[in-house]
A and B are shown apart, each in its own frame.
Chain A
Amino acid sequence: DAGITQSPRHKVTETGTPVTLRCHQTENHRYMYWYRQDPGHGLRLIHYSYGVKDTDKGEVSDGYSVSRSKTEDFLLTLESATSSQTSVYFCAISLRTSGSYEQYFGPGTRLTVT
């Protein structure tokens, strides 16, 4: 258990509204990630962070923004939610051991955009 929590765990929202998902970790890991998982697409990286205020885009970043003002929190914002953003969102942290990097995932947030 890498001490990762996500909130909310479930959310239903309407098209066009902004939505913020929170990922919280308790162990001061430097690297944090946001993925989305959809049937037929596997896990796809949205954004990641390599430190406070240091973030970068992943492969499916359009329509999403992130912020990391402190080590323990990584926020994902859907600026104007669309139905195509209905998905399960997973946060992860990266733990370095002997030269390689393991990732540990949170429980996920199921988002439905109607």
Chain B
Amino acid sequence: DAKTTQPPSMDCAEGRAANLPCNHSTISGNEYVYWYRQIHSQGPQYIIHGLKNNETNEMASLIITEDRKSSTLILPHATLRDTAVYYCIVRVSGTSGSRLTFGEGTQLTVNP
């Protein structure tokens, strides 16, 4: 799996957009970018994934650069409940039997 690099922590004001970066410079052509988050004491939560096109769902938007070497998760209007550790993971498609490898992630703190 391609290695990912994320900043250890970020702060964001409530109501503003939170932009969480992830570098994955060794990503290969068949690897998807996944984002999960983990709120304290809860199980990880799937947010969004993408291959090469930008994606949007009810939770967030995912922007992947054209060379696919980095991506940004955007929470358009962050709330206090979005305070969590956010994980960027790169996985090959069709590997359902394989583990997800969570790195250190980014601790996002949304401030009132």
Contact = CB atoms under 8 A, between A and B. Distances in A.
Interface of A: 31, 33, 35, 42-45, 48, 50, 56, 58-59, 90, 92, 94, 96, 99-108
Nearest to A6: B43
Given A31-B96, A56-B97, A107-B43, A42 B32 contact: no
Contact of B100 (A43, A96, A99, A107): A43
Contact of B97 (A50, A59, A107): A50
Chain B interface residue bracket vs A: 20 to 34
A105 B37 CA distance: 11
Contacts of B91: 100-101
Nearest to B49: A100
Contacts of A96: 96
7 contacts: A35-B99, A56-B97, A92-B44, A96-B96, A99-B51, A100-B94, A102-B46
Given A43-B102, A94-B96, A103 B46 contact: yes
A61 to B, nearest CB: 11
Interface string B66-77: 000000000000
Contacts of A33: 99
Interface in B79-112: 91, 93-97, 99-104
A92 B34 CA distance: 16
A103 B42 contact: no
